[in-house]
Structure 1
Amino acid sequence: MGLFGRRRADPAAGAAPTIDPCVHDPAAADLYEALRLRDRWWAGDFLQAVTDPDERAFYLSVCASVPRLQDWIGTWTRAEPRSTLPLLVRGAHALSWAWEARSEAYAAQGEEHRFPGFSERLELAEACLGEVAARDPGETAAWTFLLACARGGRVKPDEARRRFERVVELHPGHLRAHTEMQTYLCERWYGSHEEMFAFARASVSKAAPGSPLGRLVADAHVEVWRSLPPAQAQAYITQEEVRADLRAAADHSIRHPAYRPQVGWPEVHNAFAFAFALAGDLPAAREEFQLIGDCATRFPWEYLGPDPAAAFVETRDRVLSEGM
């Protein structure tokens, strides 16, 4: 059961790994089900009780993934005009809804008019989140999702950085804000490999031991890998220098004694498992897969093909069998 006791069916024992929009978090599944059933009262009570900035961003990302939320969320905002919470949920969902209108193409490919509905939905997200930020400047989730809007809205670097700085002023180790800013800075969007790595390394060096921010280094190496032709990509990711960098990041992060899993933890461990497996560091990858179990996530396994769950299983089975 979740925080407020909404019941859900347990997964069948021995079931194959699946890509769960709730990231295998029971409370998130309760929230998802409440919104699917249009139970805004239960969802509102749940979200009001979540005050940790990282947890708040995680649960709002779950809200954003609920299908057809746009069909009725206006009822919630009209019913509670003095509350910023319905606007926050609507803005986070509108952002996700906008990306449904276009493909996962590089920023340089195509113009917005090729993706009907994208601009309008993104403008709705900006408007809702901007109003929340204006009415409640301390709402880190609003600034975090505004930062996520920056990529699709072609927001200038200074403004994207302002949104990021607003989050980390309030919560320095905010995981979602850091991953969004790093994505903005990568070569396929508005930066370069050099800017991306500089941001990742600076962020990790400032992070407390045991912080999940170590995943930024893994994500950065994977980003370079996917930007290269296959032969060059393999040569890059299997360098001993890259392996050492990944191990050092994990040692400061998920393998540090101070590390404590937080909600959404499978995302961090899947990121490291993927990078270690690509790099051919089988002992490190094996350790991550043993921790993950069947808790596969869409990112980054979607980089290996249209069926992320199958890619996860194939890689996991290979890593575990080669270690026997």
Structure 2
Amino acid sequence: MPAPLPAPTFDAGAAYPEVEDLREALDAADWPAVRSLLADRDHDGRTLLVREAGDHVDADAFLRRVYDEDPTDQLAGALLGTHLVCAGWRIRSGARAQYVSRSQFGGFHEHLRRAEQVLIDVTARYPDDAAAWTERINVARGLQLGQNEARRRYDRLAHHHPHHLPAQASLLQQLCPKWSGDWDRAFAFARECAEAAPDGAPNAVLIAGAHLERWLDADSDQEWADYLRSTPVADDVLRAAQRSVLHPDYVDRPGWVGVRSLFALMFSLTGQWSAAASQFTVLGNRGTTYPWAYVDYAEGFTKYRSAAYAKGDKS
């Protein structure tokens, strides 16, 4: 077991140095620096940075000013639209609908409608903007525009970027029963994405994500336990990893912490401790809010990491 084990962090800046650079540029209201940091990024890296900038609470006035100065600017629109989406979801919180107040829903929907107005213009002018389309899928889910509309938005994005994992992960949430979907469609989509992606691509992690969501939807402690003890579930998670993080062609790319975090958790939950330990070793103390929020953040990360290192050589 590595010693000492550092406390986990869910700060993206710990994994991606460019995130810290971006935050400094936003705090300094330095638009040329922001633009430079996002220039020439591939669609995965750009989507990650657009989301991190949008989630930077203190950037509100700056992003609004930049957008107001030129509403036709692609990056300004993507950043402001994403900022409004993030602000809206913070108002709503991550609770199930029955625990969200009417006033929360009001503020949430107001922000999403404003975001939609901005992002519609971005995707009309720049139909290959993966970050903007990804946020429009999030908006469709939040405004409950329906399965068909969410899929239409995804298909528009996939025409330009057929394996864009952030968009696929967003649509997978839409396809789960908690957002008026069903498990057949959720798993079918996860498998569709995994099979279409090249070997060594991260997309098969969606299968692990579908199993996590299905487990969380269990109605009783016994059903929870039975699902995780299922050999087909464990085997399915392992096969997904063998197509992605355990494949010889796999390379960590923007978003890799979330991919490895999801496999680390699902390997732990299904008792595949050696495989879990391999993911925790690469992660170190880095994690992402999803999926660790589902198991009490740092408490769950620490518990499963310790168990993986203790049991990994015996599994």
Residue 265 of structure 2 is aligned to residue 269 of structure 1:
no
Output the CA distance in 2 between the equivalents of 1:318 and 1:15.
15
Output the CA distance in 2 between the equivalents of 1:47 and 1:101.
27
Please give the residue correspondences for 1:27-46 in structure 2 after superposition, counting only pairs within 5 Å.
Answer: 27-46=18-37
Output the CA distance in 1 between the equivalents of 2:125 and 2:12.
30
Using a 3 Å threshold, how does the CA distance of structure 1 residues 198 and 81 change in structure 2: closer, same or farther?
closer
The answer for the alignment partner of 1:282 in structure 2 is 273
Compute the displacement of 1:293 (Å): 1.1
* Among candidates 66, 91, 101, match of residue 101 of structure 1: 91
Residue 194 of structure 2 is aligned to residue 194 of structure 1:
no
Matched to 1:271, the amino acid is L
Compute the displacement of 1:80 (Å): 3.1
Gaps of 5+ in 2: none
Compute the displacement of 1:281 (Å): 0.9
Please give the residue correspondences for 1:63-212 in structure 2 after superposition, counting only pairs within 5 Å.
Answer: 63-107=53-97, 113-212=103-202
Matched to 1:99, the amino acid is W
Residue 312 of structure 2 is aligned to residue 323 of structure 1:
yes
Please give the residue correspondences for 1:274-313 in structure 2 after superposition, counting only pairs within 5 Å.
Answer: 274-305=265-296, 308-313=297-302
Superposed CA RMSD in Å reads: 1.8
Compute the displacement of 1:116 (Å): 4.2
Per the normalisation by structure 2, the TM-score is 0.93
The answer for the alignment partner of 1:10 in structure 2 is none
Using a 3 Å threshold, how does the CA distance of structure 1 residues 181 and 17 change in structure 2: closer, same or farther?
same
Matched to 1:62, the amino acid is E
* Residues 121-172 of structure 1: per-residue CA shift (max 9 Å, x gap): 1111111111101111222221111011111011122211111001111011
Output the CA distance in 2 between the equivalents of 1:45 and 1:141.
17
Q: Is the 8 A contact 2:176 2:186 kept in 1?
A: yes
Using a 3 Å threshold, how does the CA distance of structure 1 residues 253 and 323 change in structure 2: closer, same or farther?
closer
Using a 3 Å threshold, how does the CA distance of structure 1 residues 312 and 170 change in structure 2: closer, same or farther?
same
Q: Percent identity?
A: 33
Output the CA distance in 2 between the equivalents of 1:14 and 1:318.
12
Matched to 1:246, the amino acid is V
Q: How many residue pairs end up in the alignment? A: 309
Compute the displacement of 1:15 (Å): 4.9
Compute the displacement of 1:35 (Å): 1.2
Using a 3 Å threshold, how does the CA distance of structure 1 residues 64 and 23 change in structure 2: closer, same or farther?
farther
The answer for the alignment partner of 1:246 in structure 2 is 237
Q: Is the 8 A contact 2:92 2:100 kept in 1?
A: no
Secondary structure at 1:196 match in 2: helix
Q: Is the 8 A contact 2:55 2:83 kept in 1?
A: yes
Per the normalisation by structure 1, the TM-score is 0.90
Output the CA distance in 1 between the equivalents of 2:284 and 2:100.
39
Output the CA distance in 1 between the equivalents of 2:15 and 2:137.
25
Output the CA distance in 2 between the equivalents of 1:175 and 1:87.
22
Q: Comparing both structures, which one devotes a greater share of its residues to helix?
A: 2
Gaps of 5+ in 1: 1-12
